[in-house]
Amino acid sequence: MDAPLRIGLAGLGTVGTSLISLLSRQADLLAQRCGRPLQITAINARDKSKDRGVSLANMQWEEDPVALAKSDEIDVFVELMGGEDDPALSSVTAALEAGKHVVTANKALLAKHGVALADLAEERGLLLNYEAAVAGGIPIIKVMRESLTSNAVSRVFGILNGTCNYILTRMETDRISFDECLADAQALGFAEADPTFDIEGNDTAHKLAILASLAFGTRIAPDAIYLEGITSITIEDIEAARDLGYRIKLLGVATKTAGGVESRVHPAMVPLGSAIAEIGGVTNAVAVEADTVGSLMMSGPGAGGDATASAVAGDICDIAKSRPGHQHGPVLGQPAGTLLPHERAPMASHAGGYFIRMSTVDQPGTMASIATRMAQQEISLESIVQRKVRDDTGAAPIILVTHETTEQAIRKALEGIAADGRLKGEAQMIRIEKLA
Ligand code: NAP
Ligand code: HSE
């Protein structure tokens, strides 16, 4: 058996400590499968005195992640700190410049600097592996980067954030508040250090940006993604959706259109009984639609220490199996220098059905205003229901579902209804996702 692969690990939080446990627990199996033992030889985090709940014996503490990244005592640098800039960026860059392979679970870093880092890794003939960065334990990066090479992808979409899916599921099944669900997700180690990245949709956007690059051969472009999080979703929306035969999911969707790539992250209605509607809790799902393979969907745990560590360990094992001088495949499926500019399709041209929930003034003419404004935009309604007037506000809740229309049309219709003085507060608008 070859000499152990010496690992430098920066980040000893949820994922870092799970990785330490996993490499210890599965040491024999991993050594057998990787052809050499995997050994964490040096570590770094912010607080040296913190009890991590795992043994750090025989691991040298480094004060600085950049020094760790370029240390002569390691062969591979594993970045599990998080954050889109330093020290994640400086340490990963330092590792590659020092000739070390890198593994990271950091989608924020890759969304912002992935192309430059891929370029550097390819120039130096090094591996930059990031399976855990998208959909936790689901091996979607390998599938997109390697297994689907012969396919022209038309759409990639899915539930890409475990925290949000956990919150939406528990709001529906347990009828508990958004804040309580989020606190539980944090306690379970699913959420980002700053959970607004989860609930405002940024984390999903980071992952979608990486998937879109792999799918369409374009540069990673997180800023080209239309973004809405789940903070405005109420138990009322979830129940209204269910009454209409839908479930609300936070989706990331990237579609190739004639006008460019339409990338969007927002809560979406998916039909009850569809495979994606059945994905509950922290589970993620990624669906790919392509010309040769057709449609496929992978699901599995999208967050949490063990699931994420499983993906990180797989990436480390690939490095352990690689041989010096071997030419590695490109980081983003094709050489970073050949990635096309990302052409963004405008969200205004998005076509689909819409669910609208409005609090309206309970007066004659409200229904007429809604019907007129919708007709002016040539929007055809699938259903419209007025619920009992609320005792507390005197508002009449109206829920409608449209047939396919455009984002531009629906926004204009809602502006018109508001201008007619018919709305109490903002209308809730949730897109209905067309599934194959
Ligand atoms: P975490 O629990 O917050 O742990 C982060 C670790 O990084 C901590 O040990 C922290 O040190 C260390 N750290 C943070 N800033 C640092 C700095 N400036 N210098 C040195 N060390 C620093 O995070 P996590 O949940 O393990 O996530 C780690 C990475 O994996 C992130 O990129 C995240 O997006 C990604 N990820 C997480 C999951 C998940 O389910 N949690 C899933 C997939 C991907 P201290 O402990 O001393 O404060
Ligand atoms: N906070 C992320 C999530 C971690 O909830 O999905 C996995 O990337």
Residues 6+ apart with CB under 8 A from 288: 143, 144, 148, 151, 153, 155, 156, 215, 295, 296, 297
- 3-state DSSP assignment of residue 344: strand
Give distance in angstroms: CA of 225 to centre of ligand 1.
Answer: 25
Distances (CA, A) of 23 to 2, 12, 40, 111, 320: 17, 14, 8, 28, 13
pLDDT of residue 403: 98
pLDDT of residue 388: 85
- 3-state DSSP assignment of residue 15: helix
Give distance in angstroms: CA of 355 to centre of ligand 1.
Answer: 38
pLDDT of residue 148: 97
Q: Which helix (H) or strand (E) holds 227?
A: strand 226-227
Q: Are 193 and 82 in contact (CB under 8 A)?
A: yes
Would you give per-residue pLDDT tens digits along the chain (436 residues)? Answer: 789 999 999 999 999 999 999 999 999 999 999 999 999 999 999 999 999 999 999 999 999 999 999 999 999 999 999 999 999 999 999 999 999 999 999 999 999 999 999 999 999 999 999 999 999 999 999 999 999 999 999 999 999 999 999 999 999 999 999 999 999 999 999 999 999 999 999 999 999 999 999 999 999 999 999 999 999 999 999 999 999 999 999 999 999 999 999 999 999 999 999 999 999 999 999 999 999 999 999 999 999 999 999 999 999 999 999 988 788 899 999 999 999 999 999 999 999 999 999 999 999 999 999 999 999 999 999 999 998 888 788 899 999 999 999 999 999 999 999 999 999 999 999 999 999 7
pLDDT of residue 2: 86
Q: Where would I find the beta strands (DSSP E) of 273-418?
A: 283-290, 294-301, 351-361, 381-386, 395-402, 405-406
Dihedral angle of Cα 102, 104, 106, 108, to the nearest 10 degrees: 20
Q: Where are the domains of the chain?
A: 5-136+305-338, 141-301, 349-432
Query: What's the CA gap between 8 and 65, in Å, rounded?
Result: 9
Q: Is 198 in the pocket of ligand 2 (CB under 6 A)?
A: yes
Query: What's the CA gap between 243 and 399, in Å, rounded?
Result: 11
Beta bridge partners, 247, equal 270
pLDDT of residue 309: 98
pLDDT of residue 29: 98
pTM confidence score: 0.97
Q: Is 283 in the pocket of ligand 2 (CB under 6 A)?
A: no
Give the domain 349-432 fold.
Answer: Alpha-Beta Plaits (3.30.70)
Give distance in angstroms: CA of 190 to centre of ligand 2.
Answer: 5
* 249 catalytic residue (yes or no): no
Domains 141-301 and 349-432 equal at CATH topology level: no
Beta bridge partners, 386, equal 398
Give phi and psi for 137, each to the nearest 5: -80, -5
Give distance in angstroms: CA of 201 to centre of ligand 2.
Answer: 11
Considering the domain 5-136+305-338 in this protein, what is its CATH number? 3.40.50.720
Question: Hey, which CATH number is domain 141-301, 3.40.50.300, 2.40.40.20, 3.40.50.10470, 3.30.360.10?
Answer: 3.30.360.10
Q: Is 202 in the pocket of ligand 2 (CB under 6 A)?
A: no
Query: Which burial class, exposed, middle or buried, applies to 418 when counting CB atoms under 10 A from its CB (0-12, 13-18, 19+)?
Result: middle
Q: What is the DSSP letter of 179?
A: H
Q: Which ligand is nearest to the CA of 14?
A: 1
Ligand 1 pocket residues where CB is under 6 Å: 11-16, 44-47, 50, 65, 80-82, 87, 105-106, 132, 136, 189-190, 192-193, 303-304, 308
Q: Which amino acid, one-letter code, is at 414? A: L
Q: Is 414 in the pocket of ligand 2 (CB under 6 A)?
A: no
How is residue 398 written in tokens? 């109206």
